[in-house]
Amino acid sequence: MATLQYILKRLFLMIPTFFLVMIIIFVLVRFLPGDPAIAIAGDRASDADLEAIRERLGLNEPMLVQFWLFVTNTIQGDLGSSILMRAPVTEVIFNRLPTTAFLTLYAVGLSLLIAGPLAFVAALNRGRWPDVLIRTVFQVGLSMPVFYIGLILLTFLAAQLRWFPVGGYGDTFGARLYHLFLPSVAVALYTSAIIMRNLRSAIIEVLDAEYVQFARAKGLPNRLILGRHVLRNALISTVTLLGLSIGNLMSGTLVTETVFAVPGVGRLMLEAIFARDYPLIQGLTLTFAVLVSVVFLLTDLFQSTLDPRMRLT
Amino acid sequence: MIDQKPILEVSNLCTTFRRGGVDLPAVRDVSFSVGQGEVLGLVGESGSGKSVTLRSILGLSRRYGDVTGEVRWLGQDIASMPERKLRHIRGREIAMIFQEPMTSLNPLLTVGMQLTETLKAHTDLNRAARRDRAIEMLDHVGIPSAASRLGEFPHQFSGGMRQRVMIAIALAASPKLLLADEPTTALDVTIQAQILDLILSLADEMQMGVILVTHDLGVVAQTCENVAVMYAGRVVEQGAVRQVLGAPRHPYTVGLMRSVPQNVPPRTQLYSVPGTPPSLEALPVGCAFASRCQNRTERCLTARPTLDAITDDRRVACFNPVAAEKAGAA
Ligand SMILES: Nc1ncnc2c1ncn2[C@@H]1O[C@H](COP(=O)(O)OP(=O)(O)OP(=O)(O)O)[C@@H](O)[C@H]1O
Ligand code: SF4
Ligand SMILES: [Mg+2]
């Protein structure tokens, strides 16, 4: 019950945040260089045509009126129509969202799979060669941009060796895992480096904690000490980091989706920006804001289940 | 009460840490033994190596430094025993209570879990029996409504209660030896006596040997049969409590005794001896106590005194020990 109350309270507190986000989105979008009417009708359209398009999009209304319409429609769940896709923005986004969600979770899953065990190996061998090797490799991963790694993977593993598809998105779960493998690896290389670094130092710190020494003094088997006493405590800070870096993760996804031609919301965002598709840009940005807030909330909830000292208030 | 054959025999224990390329000799040539049901006192200033000595006995120091020497447990050397085997002795035969009750329990696990996991590691008891035993132990160490507190987390307990929980955990598997590392220093004065009495009465009841690390000479005088005084990683004087505290021979022990005011209730925190101990990184070639010693002579600066027997079971590491009659009068 306390948890439910806490969630409701947090959702309520999100309202002012979203209002602020809407103001920022609205202003930013209007300052994008270029004219949406030209983007729609093309360079050679007549002035009259452009004027008609502007009228239809409501771009001739005063700014405040446009904003008012934006806010009231959004509250009713209406994000307008995408100029580019000629369909309701909500529909366009909801069609594309699962792909991105899949890719993001896939990348996070891969990152944990890669970083978790390696962080343990590095931490338990602190200062010796396995630690040095692991840290060096991840440092390289950290300093290479996702875009660049994506292109390399694409060129070698997909285009030349033809082990993986060059783009697209499968129909079945298995096909999706296969299609999205390279894109997730591209994202995971960066994310796993961050997780590895954080988890490694967290494990090292926890290993020296008095309660771990006490657990050893109790004569517990080593796997229990590592799994129950060390990992759980070390995970708290890593989960927080992972939650807080959701923004980074999503911008990584945006680049990856573009490089690998994955039809997700990241690529949609780029398309929308190029097309000056105001409603779609607004809708997408708002969606990102909602996602980030929800992930933050989930992070806090997860933390409080892990750590009894974190009371929900 | 002391059995003829000791259960624990520590000989020439040395523990060296390395920090920033410098060797830190935290424990040097420590030797003592504990008989069944015996309470051995280990005293000395902060940083003299008491905790490291206890941790080295249990094999907890070797991941942080180099440990040499022998630790014979029931005749078997456990200093060189691999972790996998040693863990069956830790907690089951030799248990330890840590100095800091606030940080020694895992904040994420319930008290019940931390108690029963020890039982699971060392006994054949089933789940229900482990729970019963856990309640029994909490009850035994004086935690009210024990059954309902099993599901609580350490932060829901006060410092004194956490120390009781730690004692309950340590004693859960009925060990033969308890390493009690200043079990009361972190606690309120009023609770200190309670906890100490608890440990000693349980030890008596279970015929358990205890190494009691303490700052408090009053406690040693009242409860221990033998005592070892540590200074800068070495034992400087050891023997029967009556002799060592009754007629101290090492100038440092004399200083410790002097700092206990006469005619005050026992268990008064000991005053510090004037001056500070040398840092481990830069120990002098001679006697480590020289800079604070009134009996110092030329020789003390160039050679280090060894711990020699002056009577059968009385050892002192000093070139110019305090005369027995004089020390008795001090
Ligand atoms: N893991 C470690 N690494 C490096 N140095 C250590 C380590 N553990 C202890 N030391 C050092 O060893 C020396 C002895 O420490 P120890 O904890 O045994 O002192 P103590 O006698 O228990 O003192 P106190 O009364 O304050 O508990 C100290 O100088 C301490 O800094
Ligand atoms: S050896 Fe010398 S300096 Fe050291 S305690 Fe004895 S008299 Fe003092
Ligand atoms: Mg200590």
Provide residues of B within 8 Å CB-CB of chain A. Answer: 55, 58, 60, 83-84, 87-92, 95-96, 98, 100, 103-109, 117-118, 121-122, 153, 155, 166, 169-170
Q: CA B58 from chain center: how many Å? A: 12
Burial of B304 (0-12, 13-18, 19+ CB in 10 A): middle
- Asked if B184 and B163 touch (Cβ cutoff 8 Å), the reply is yes
The answer to whether residue A202 neighbours chain B at the CB level (below 8 Å) is no
Interatomic CA distance for residues A157 and B180, integer angstroms = 61
Strand extents, DSSP E, chain B: 6-19, 22-35, 39-44, 65-73, 76-77, 94-97, 177-181, 209-213, 226-231, 234-240, 308-311, 314-316
Residue B260: band (very low, low, confident or very high) from pLDDT cuts 50, 70, 90: low
Which atom of ligand 1 is least distant from the CA of B61? Answer: 1
Whole-model pTM: value is 0.85
Task: Read off the pLDDT band of B267 (50, 70, 90).
Answer: very low
Contact A292, A246 (CB under 8 A): yes
Maximum average pLDDT range among A1-10, A107-116, A274-283: A107-116
Q: Is A214 on the interface with B (CB under 8 A)?
A: yes
pLDDT at A222: 93
Assess whether pLDDT exceeds 60 at residue B271: no
DSSP-derived 3-state class of residue A142: helix
Task: List beta partners, residue B43.
Answer: B229
CA distance B109 to chain A (A): 8
The residue whose CB lies within 8 Å of the most ligand 1 atoms, and thus the one to mutate among B15, B17, B272, is: B17
Q: Which chain B positions have a beta carbon within 8 Å of A220's beta carbon?
A: 87, 91, 117-118, 121
Per-residue DSSP letters for A86-120?
TEEHHHHHHHHHHHHHHHHHHHHHHHHHHHHHHHH
Q: What is the pLDDT of residue B227?
A: 96
State chain A's mean pLDDT as an integer: 85
DSSP percent split of chain B into helix, strand, coil, nearest 5:
35, 25, 40
Nearest-angstrom CA–CA distance, B70 and B29 = 10
Question: What is the average per-residue pLDDT within B141-158?
Answer: 93
pLDDT at A120 over 80: yes
> What's phi and psi for A42, nearest 5 deg?
95, 165
Collect all residues of chain A within an 8 Å Cβ-Cβ radius of residue B84. 222
Q: Which amino acid would we find at residue B73?
A: W
Who among A212, A219, A307 is closest to B122 (CB)? Answer: A219
A304 against B143, higher pLDDT: B143
Could you tell which of B22, B24, B48, B52 is best to mutate to test the pocket of ligand 1, judged by most ligand atoms within 8 Å of the CB? B52
Q: Find the closest chain B residue to A207 by CA distance.
A: B63
**pLDDT value at position B3?**
47
H/E element holding A231? none
Secondary structure of residue B237 in the 3-state scheme: strand
Q: pLDDT over 70 for what percent of chain A?
A: 97
Name which residue leads in pLDDT, B255 or B169.
B169
Q: Give the best-scoring range by mean pLDDT among A136-140, A176-180, A191-195, B11-15.
A: B11-15
Quick one: tokens of A236? 């708290």
Per-residue confidence (pLDDT) for residue B272, from 0 to 100: 63
Indicate the range of A59-63, B14-18, B89-93, B319-323 predicted with least confidence: A59-63
For residue B299, give the ligand 2 atom closest to its CA: 2
Q: What is d(CA B143, CA B161) in angstroms, rounded to the nearest whole number?
A: 7
pLDDT for the residue numbered A273: 85
Provide the pairing of β-strand B6-19 with B22-35. Answer: antiparallel
- Say whether B109 and A210 touch across the interface (CB within 8 A): no
Task: Please give the sequence-ordered ranges of beta strands (E in DSSP) within B132-185, or none if there are none.
Answer: 177-181
| 3-class SS of residue B96 | strand
Contact A210/B121, CB-based, under 8 Å? no
- When pLDDT is averaged across residues A151-170 and rounded to a whole number, the result is 74
Mean pLDDT computed over B305-328: 82
Name the β-bridge partners of B90: B94
3 state DSSP class of A135: helix
Minimal Cβ distance to A217: which of B90, B109, B122: B90
Which of A214, A228, A307 has its CB closest to that of B98?
Answer: A214
Most confident of A249-258, B227-236, B303-312: B227-236
What per-residue confidence (pLDDT) applies to B268? 46
Q: Which of B51, B57, B97, B283 to mutate to test the pocket of ligand 1 (most atoms within 8 A of CB)?
A: B51
The ipTM (two decimal places) reads 0.91
Q: Which of B60, B89, B109 sits opposite A213 (nearest CB)?
A: B60
Cβ–Cβ < 8 Å for A138, A190: no
* CA B268 vs CA B32, B138, B192, B246: distances in Å: 26, 29, 11, 17
8 Å CB contact between A254 and A269: yes
| Ligand in closest contact with the CA of B181 | 3
Interface contact flag, B118 A228, Cβ < 8 Å: no
Task: State how beta strands B177-181 and B209-213 pair.
Answer: parallel
Other Cβ atoms less than 10 A from the Cβ of A21: the count is 18
Task: Look at A211 and B103 and tell me if their CB atoms are within 8 Å.
Answer: yes
Condensed to tens digits (0 to 9), the pLDDT of residues B82-133 reads 999 999 999 999 999 999 989 999 999 999 999 999 999 999 999 999 999 9
Q: What is the pLDDT of residue A161?
A: 76
Reported confidence tier of residue B20, pLDDT bands at 50, 70, 90: confident
Least confident of A83-92, B40-49, B244-253: A83-92
As a whole number, the mean pLDDT across chain B is 89
SS3 content of chain A, % helix, strand, coil (to 5): 80, 0, 20
Three-state secondary structure readout of B171-191:
HCCCCCEEEEECCCCCCCHHH
Cα(B83) to ligand 3 centroid in Å equals 23
